[in-house]
Amino acid sequence: MSTLIRTHIRLARASIHANRTRSFLTCLGIAIGIASIILILSLTGSISRLISDELSSAGADLIVVRPSISKDTVTSVVEELTSSNLYQKSNLAISDVDRIAQIPQVTAVAPIALSVNTITDEDNTVASATVLGTTPDFIDIEPLALRYGTFLSDNNKSNSVVVGHMLSLLLFNTSNPVGRTLTFHGQRFIVVGVLEEITDTINFNNIDYNNTLVMDLGVLSELLGAPQIQQINVRVTSTSALSEVASGITDSLHQNHAGDTNFAVAYGNDLTHPASNLLNIISGMLAIVAGISLVVGGIGIMNIMLVSVAERTHEIGIRKAVGASSRNILMQFMFESVILSLLGGVLGIILGYLFAFLVSVITPFTPYISWEIIAITLLTSLVVGIVFGTYPALKAASKDPIESLKHYR
């Protein structure tokens, strides 16, 4: 049997080699489909790696409380994406933050309340700066580094702010404005610290720290009225306390919210869920599009194999006359289409990673290479070869030897 398989492979190679141009064009059809799949998988892989890196740098002992929307179903994720007033519906309040802080084993609680406001100093005005209202605990939870000065503390939080790197440049034309003052909502604040410039743009809080003004949530709510808290980050003493604290948070917020479960408590892998869900939907849809191009490539293979079968009718007749069974002929043509398709797959993997590398040059993504992706794409091209090679091969195998021998070009 193995000699026969080797022979089939040799025959397929010879036939592909004899029709180089035709074979190359056929492979290209498969290669383009495979390349787009590689591109999609490598980019989404790189994004989810960015997210999980961010999560692990934030720490595994983190609990996040969000206004409840997200479920795992596709519709809820789409709803979450399309509803523009999501953050306005937040049911979390400052009292919730206080309640959580009282739970034992909680080491730090940092709410996140984002708004966009105008900030001025003596010379400049920034019309749309992100203002982050939080607590001094924030620096313990979010792995932020300070370039100059200090973060907010319980002592100075009533009149101090911390600014991001870009905001500092825009407002003060300097990277070190510690000690200078700025005006926000008619009240003057002293800049006590500047954040280190942040280069990776993706983090799971979705905040562009370079353009952010950080101030105390209590002060912010005095100025703006009750702000919307989009998220409360909670750090616990150890990872083993996570589930216990999480249920504690759920219980106390239940009481605070008069029994309503309009919040979600997440920790561990659940943290990345909304982002991963979105990513899965997008990559799934892109993969379907790539799949369509793969089907087109497969039809190309089928077409070429049908031509090949018609051209080689006489050869099929001769092979049958000297003792080839229908199965031998079937295998011969199956091998040819599978090898064509696999060649296309290999070409597609190379092309795909080439594209992914080019994309990585102009974007922050790094191409994500894993043996799983390569295995999946090779398997896909194998399946395409088998599926679209079957009909031509059956057609070849079912040819009548006598008729085929008469068929003389």
Partner 1 sequence: MNEEIIELKGLTKRYGYGDTESFALKDFNLTIRRGEFIMIMGPSGCGKTTLLNIIGLLDRATDGEYTLNGENVASISTTRRAKIRAKKIGFVFQNFNLIDNLSILENVALPLVYINRPRTVRLQNASDALARFHLQEKEYYHPSQLSGGQQQRAAIARAIVSDPEIILADEPTGNLDSRASNVVMEELKSIHEEGNTIIMVTHNPALTTYATRVINMLDGQIDTDIKTVADHNLPQPIEKRNKKRKRSRRRRNN
Interatomic CA distance for residues 409 and 400, integer angstroms: 16
| Of the residues 66, 235, 319, 399, which one makes contact with partner 1 according to CB under 8 A | 319
Report in angstroms how near the CB of residue 342 gets to partner 1 at its nearest. Answer: 22
**Near partner 1 in 10-49, by CB under 8 A:** 14, 18
Report in angstroms how near the CB of residue 320 gets to partner 1 at its nearest. Answer: 7
Contact yes or no for 310/377 (Cβ under 8 A): no
Report in angstroms how near the CB of residue 328 gets to partner 1 at its nearest. Answer: 6
| Of the residues 321, 358, 375, 379, which one makes contact with partner 1 according to CB under 8 A | 321
Instruction: Sketch the per residue contact string, 261 through 300, with partner 1: x for CB under 8 A, - otherwise.
Output: ----------------------------------------
By CB under 8 A, is residue 327 in contact with partner 1?
Answer: yes
Closer of 222 and 315 to partner 1 (Cβ) = 315
21: Cβ contacts below 8 Å, ≥ 6 apart: none
By CB under 8 A, is residue 314 in contact with partner 1?
Answer: yes
The site that binds partner 1 (CB under 8 A) totals a number of residues, namely 25
Report in angstroms how near the CB of residue 4 gets to partner 1 at its nearest. Answer: 6
Nearest CA among 275, 261, 268 for reference residue 241 = 268
By CB under 8 A, is residue 325 in contact with partner 1?
Answer: yes
Closer of 78 and 321 to partner 1 (Cβ) = 321
301: Cβ contacts below 8 Å, ≥ 6 apart: 26, 29, 30, 337, 340, 341, 344, 384, 385, 388, 389
By CB under 8 A, is residue 326 in contact with partner 1?
Answer: yes
Instruction: At 284, list the tokens.
Output: 């799934």
| Of the residues 293, 315, 346, 376, which one makes contact with partner 1 according to CB under 8 A | 315
By CB under 8 A, is residue 405 in contact with partner 1?
Answer: yes
Q: Among all chains, which residue has been given the structure tokens 């929307």?
A: 69
Q: Which stretch binds partner 1 (CB under 8 A): 159-167, 253-261, 315-323, 348-356?
A: 315-323
By CB under 8 A, is residue 6 in contact with partner 1?
Answer: yes
341: Cβ contacts below 8 Å, ≥ 6 apart: 27, 30, 298, 301, 381, 382, 384, 385, 388, 389
Report in angstroms how near the CB of residue 22 gets to partner 1 at its nearest. Answer: 14
Q: Which stretch binds partner 1 (CB under 8 A): 128-136, 237-245, 254-262, 401-409?
A: 401-409
Q: Which residues of 41-65 are buried (b: 16+ CB within 10 A; e: fewer)?
A: bbbbbbbbebbbebbeebeebbbbb
Instruction: At 197, list the tokens.
Output: 């410039």
By CB under 8 A, is residue 362 in contact with partner 1?
Answer: no
Residue numbers at the binding site for partner 1 (CB under 8 A): 1, 3-4, 6-7, 14, 18, 314-315, 317-328, 401-402, 405, 408
